[in-house]
Amino acid sequence: MPSKINTPLILVNFKTYREASGDNAARLARIIEKVRRQTGVCVGLAPQFVDIAPIAQIVSAPIFAQHVDPIDGGSFTGHVLPQSIRAAGAVGTLINHSERRLRLADIDTAIQQSRKVGLTSVVCTNNQAVSAAVAALKPDMIAVEPPELIGTGVPVSQAQPRVVEDTVKAVKQMDPNIIVLCGAGITKADDVAAAMKLGTEGVLVASGVVKAKDPFKVLSRFAERLTTH
Ligand code: G3P
């Protein structure tokens, strides 16, 4: 894994929220950078593809793509080449987000292609069984996110602790080096603390930060509870 990325990790997915696109993406990236520097906690961001290169010019926080295609270059119109994501300044990528699902064989290839070009892979899963299946593919990280809780403000770490706990157990049994994150509905520092208590090494979060009135305050509280849960 690139030395920029360490755990515990807060990874902020910008999705296609207007509050985190274009100029707003740069503004949020600067806030993330400030939290990272002030707290010493690793805070990463996953902006839209087109925002990766400009943001890489202004922050040193680890940047992730939201998706890559399982390809190695060639005639693939409209696809996203892992190598180009790396060249744009990202150090990692989400794979198989519930809003951008892939087939299992494609997840496997996307992990391999990402590794080949030096991108840390964070594969999203929806439950413990899928997490165990994905662990066999040996990604760098797995982020378990029950889709029904995404964007609801109902935190996975409090509403479905068994899914998180069982995912940690299943993944670590398969390969103790795979880092486990959880996400969906996380909006409060207590949700972050609960996630850490369940054995995860960080959180994947979107609306709770992107749509917050004061993302700096929210992220700073997250960072504090990440280390003092
Ligand atoms: O990738 C993170 C995401 O799917 C969780 O979304 O808005 O529930 O934090 P949210």
pLDDT in tens, 17-34: 999 999 999 999 999 999
Distances (CA, A) of 4 to 7, 57, 141, 222: 10, 15, 15, 19
Looking at the CA of residue 184, tell me the nearest atom of ligand 1: 8
Mutate to test the pocket of ligand 1, among 10, 14, 15 (most ligand atoms within 8 A of CB): 15
Residue 185 CA to ligand 1 centre (angstroms): 6
Structure confidence at residue 62 (pLDDT): 98
- 229 among known catalytic residues: no
Where the chain has pLDDT below 50, the residues are none
In the chain, the domains with their CATH numbers are 9-228 (3.20.20.70)
The kind and range of the H/E element at 26 are helix 23-39
pLDDT of residue 200: 97
Please write the tens of the pLDDT for every residue from 171-194. Answer: 999 999 999 999 999 999 999 999
Q: Give the nearest ligand 1 atom to 209 CA.
A: 9
Give the pLDDT score at 4: 85
